[in-house]
A and B are shown apart, each in its own frame.
Chain A
Amino acid sequence: MQRLRDLAISDTGFVFDPFSGATYTVNGTAQCLLDGLKRGLDRDGLVALLRERFECSDEDLPRDIDDLVQSLRMFGLVPGGFEVGR
Chain B
Amino acid sequence: MSRPLYDRPILARHQTGLMNKFSRVASMQPQTHIDGVPVQTLIEAYGSPLFVFSEKTIVARYRELRDAFARRFSKVRIAWSYKTNYLDAVCKVFHREGAWAEVVSEFEWEKARHNGVPGERIHLNGPLKTEATLRRVLPEGTLIHIDNFDELALLERLADELHLTPKVALRVNLAVESIPAWSRFGFNLESGQAMTAANRILTGKRLDLVGLHCHLGTFILDPASYREQATKLAGLANELRRAHGAIMSFLDIGGGFASRSKLKAQYLPGEQASPSFDRYAAACAEGMAALDYPAGSEPTIVLESGRALVDDSGTLISTVIANKRMPDGQRGLVVDAGVNVLFTSFWYDHDVVPAQPFGGISEPTVMYGPLCMNIDVVRDTIQFPPMRAGDQVVFRNVGAYNVTQWMQFITYRPAVVIIGADGRHGIIRKREQLETLLASEEVPSWL
Q: How many angstroms from the CA of A34 to the CA of B4 in the assembled complex?
A: 17
Chain A residues with CB under 8 A of B16? 22
Interface: A30 (CB within 8 A): yes
Interface: A19 (CB within 8 A): no
Q: Are A27 and B6 in contact (CB under 8 A)?
A: no
Interface residues of A in 46-67 (CB under 8 A from B): 50, 53-57, 59, 64-65, 67
Interface: A68 (CB within 8 A): yes
Q: How many angstroms from the CA of A24 to the CA of B10 in the assembled complex?
A: 10
Given contacts A22-B13, A54-B4, A71-B329, 4 further A-B contacts (CB under 8 A): A26-B12, A27-B360, A74-B325, A74-B327
Q: How many angstroms from the CA of A13 to the CA of B360 in the assembled complex?
A: 12
Closest Cβ of chain B: how far from A67's Cβ, in Å?
5
Q: How many angstroms from the CA of A23 to the CA of B17 in the assembled complex?
A: 13
Closest Cβ of chain A: how far from B111's Cβ, in Å?
49
Q: Kindly identify which residue among A25, A56, A59 contacts B12, using a CB–CB cutoff of 8 Å.
A: A25
Q: Are A75 and B9 in contact (CB under 8 A)?
A: no
Chain B residues with CB under 8 A of A29? 6-10
Q: Kindly identify which residue among B4, B9, B323, B329 contacts A26, using a CB–CB cutoff of 8 Å.
A: B9
Chain B residues with CB under 8 A of A25? 10-12, 14, 361
Interface: B45 (CB within 8 A): no
Q: 4 shortest A-B CB distances, which residue pairs?
A: A30-B9, A54-B6, A29-B9, A56-B6
Chain B residues with CB under 8 A of A53? 3-4
Interface: B5 (CB within 8 A): yes
Q: Are B325 and A70 in contact (CB under 8 A)?
A: yes
Chain B residues with CB under 8 A of A15? 11
Q: List 22 A-B contacts (CB under 8 A).
A: A22-B13, A24-B13, A25-B12, A25-B361, A26-B9, A26-B10, A26-B361, A28-B7, A29-B9, A32-B9, A53-B4, A54-B4, A54-B5, A54-B6, A55-B2, A55-B5, A55-B6, A64-B9, A67-B9, A67-B323, A67-B325, A68-B11
Chain A residues with CB under 8 A of B360? 27
Interface: B161 (CB within 8 A): no
Interface: B177 (CB within 8 A): no
Chain A residues with CB under 8 A of B3? 53-55
Q: How many angstroms from the CA of A22 to the CA of B328 in the assembled complex?
A: 16
Q: How many angstroms from the CA of A28 to the CA of B420 in the assembled complex?
A: 44
Q: Are A74 and B6 in contact (CB under 8 A)?
A: no
Q: Kindly identify which residue among B6, B11, B323 contacts A71, using a CB–CB cutoff of 8 Å.
A: B11
Q: Are A24 and B11 in contact (CB under 8 A)?
A: yes
Interface residues of B in 343-369 (CB under 8 A from A): 360-361
Task: Tell me whether A64 and B13 are in contact in the complex, defined as CB-CB below 8 angstroms, given that A54-B3, A71-B329, A74-B328 are known contacts.
Answer: no
Closest Cβ of chain A: how far from B194's Cβ, in Å?
59
Chain A residues with CB under 8 A of B327? 74
1/0 contact trace for B7-46 toward A, CB 8 Å? 1111111101000000000000000000000000000000
Chain B residues with CB under 8 A of A27? 7, 9-10, 360-361
Chain A residues with CB under 8 A of B325? 67, 70-71, 74
Chain B residues with CB under 8 A of A24? 11-14
Chain A residues with CB under 8 A of B12? 24-26
Closest Cβ of chain B: how far from A21's Cβ, in Å?
9
Closest to B360 in A: A27
Closest Cβ of chain A: how far from B374's Cβ, in Å?
21
Q: Are A75 and B11 in contact (CB under 8 A)?
A: yes
Chain A residues with CB under 8 A of B14? 22-25
Q: Are A26 and B8 in contact (CB under 8 A)?
A: no
Q: How many angstroms from the CA of A13 to the CA of B11 in the assembled complex?
A: 9
Q: Are A68 and B9 in contact (CB under 8 A)?
A: yes
Chain A residues with CB under 8 A of B10? 25-27, 29-30
Interface: A41 (CB within 8 A): no
Residue with the highest number of chain B CB atoms closer than 10 Å, among A22, A27, A32, A56: A27
Q: How many angstroms from the CA of A13 to the CA of B328 in the assembled complex?
A: 22
Closest to A50 in B: B6
Task: Tell me whether A30 and B11 are in contact in the complex, defined as CB-CB below 8 angstroms, given that A25-B361, A70-B325, A74-B328 are known contacts.
Answer: yes
Q: Are B11 and A72 in contact (CB under 8 A)?
A: yes
Chain B residues with CB under 8 A of A33? 9
Closest to A68 in B: B9
